[in-house]
Amino acid sequence: MIGFGLPNGRPLLTHRKLPEAAMGPPYFYYENVALAPRGVWDTISRFLYDIEPEFVDSKFFCAAARKRGYIHNLPIHNRFPLLPLPPRTIFEAFPMTKKWWPSWDTRTHLNCLQTCTASAKLTERIRSALADSDDPPSHNTRQFVINECRKWNLVWVGLHKVAPLEPDEIEMLLGFPRNHTRGGGSSRTERYKSLGNSFQVDTVAYHLSVLKDMFPNGITMLSLFSGIGGAEVALHRLGIHLKAVVSVEISEVNRNIVRSWWEQTNQTGTLIDIADVQQLNGDKLEQLIHTFGGFDLVVGGSPCNNLSGSNRVSRDGLEGKHSALFYDYFRILDLVKNIMGKES
């Protein structure tokens, strides 16, 4: 789970040969959960021009794990990390917790950040179990507490007291600016949901950093399943001007967040919102390509609802209702490549 290399480390590959059909323009970048059902990544790779996935865990970039697979046709050399480097461990990210952290909780990184959070009833159960236990607690009590802390990413905030992460803290771990998901007036519950489904910005920015020298005058991007704009934030933090972004996102809450960020960061380019990827047919794409002169980058991470290991009810792979939207990513990317190929 370290991809083709990490910041300040030797690349694991010195060369990779892309199939001719995969070569840009445009460049493309696709993301989804790494630990998908058997055969899913083989299928994704087959549709995306037989490119080998790059699997990366964001624990090498921040204090929280996020195991993801990426298929892209970007160069893999001369990447560079975002600065300043983010906190890499729990204590670096949350130094105030060290005072209360028990020696038997050996976590150094948080698990993957989720779309929901632990209940007050659970944190009270943990407090009561520890208050009623010996010091140190019994093996069974420790096991119960550690399992729940790992599952829900609970941190120590007092004697016998754990608490879930606040949305602002999750934003920091994921590389977003403070209050990013407050944009558009989203509720606390909506903020957790939006963040749990987002990119980890530092990881994505490391991959996209190769574009900075390639597009010194800025970039035009088609952003599919945009979420809260992780790719847009990554490019902005890399200092790459966003000349135009066509953002396709079904959630009105997320569209409002991206629009709010766009305005707050004084972007001078053009932002176009589209609600549904299925609205993007050949005619619409031809119109957009004619308007902007083509896309430099097509980026997206289709829904993982039916792929995620935490989903034990409808883990139906790419045939699931939500995760089947991957095929729309491929459909749109292939249309863009064909239309741009005709116009070049």
122 shares its domain with 182: no
| pLDDT of 304 higher than 80 | no
Residue that is last in its domain, among 172, 198, 215:
172
What pLDDT sits at residue 180?
A: 95
Residue that is last in its domain, among 130, 145, 172:
172
120 shares its domain with 64: no
Residue that is last in its domain, among 172, 205, 231:
172
329 shares its domain with 271: yes
| Predicted model pTM | 0.92
The pair phi, psi for residue 296, each rounded to 5°, is -85, -30
Find out whether 127 and 142 touch, Cβ atoms under 8 Å.
no
pLDDT band at 320 (very low <50, low <70, confident <90, very high): low
pLDDT band at 311 (very low <50, low <70, confident <90, very high): very low
* Inside any domain, residue 20: no
Rounded-to-integer distance, Cα 97 and Cα 108, Å: 12
Over residues 167-193, the pLDDT tens digits come to 999 999 999 999 999 977 789 999 999
227 shares its domain with 109: no
45 shares its domain with 159: no
Over residues 14-51, the pLDDT tens digits come to 678 898 888 878 999 999 999 888 888 999 999 999 99
More confident residue, 186 or 213: 213
The three-state secondary structure class of 260 is: helix
Which residue segment(s) compose the domain that 201 sits in?
A: 25-85+175-343
Number of structural domains, the chain?
2
Average pLDDT, the chain: 91
* Inside any domain, residue 318: yes
Q: Which residues pair with 155 in a beta bridge?
A: 163
Find out whether 329 and 30 touch, Cβ atoms under 8 Å.
yes
Q: Write out the catalytic residue numbers.
A: 304
185 shares its domain with 61: yes
Angle, alpha carbons 122-124-125 (nearest 5°): 65
Over residues 56-111, the pLDDT tens digits come to 999 999 999 999 999 999 999 889 999 999 999 999 999 999 999 999 999 999 99
Rounded-to-integer distance, Cα 238 and Cα 218, Å: 11
Rounded-to-integer distance, Cα 9 and Cα 2, Å: 10
More confident residue, 315 or 260: 260
183 shares its domain with 302: yes
| pLDDT of 213 higher than 70 | yes
Which CATH number do you get for residue 194? Answer: 3.40.50.150
229 shares its domain with 151: no
193 shares its domain with 310: yes
Q: Out of 80-94, 112-126, 277-291, 317-331, pick the least confident.
A: 317-331
* Inside any domain, residue 12: no
pLDDT band at 308 (very low <50, low <70, confident <90, very high): low
328 shares its domain with 208: yes
For residues 156-161, average pLDDT: 95
What pLDDT sits at residue 326?
A: 87
What is residue 277's DSSP assignment? G
Rounded-to-integer distance, Cα 47 and Cα 76, Å: 21
Give me the DSSP letters along 169-230. HHHHHHTPPTTGGGGGG--HHHHHHHHHTS--HHHHHHHHTTHHHH-TT-EEEEEET-TTTH
289 shares its domain with 192: yes
What pLDDT sits at residue 307?
A: 54
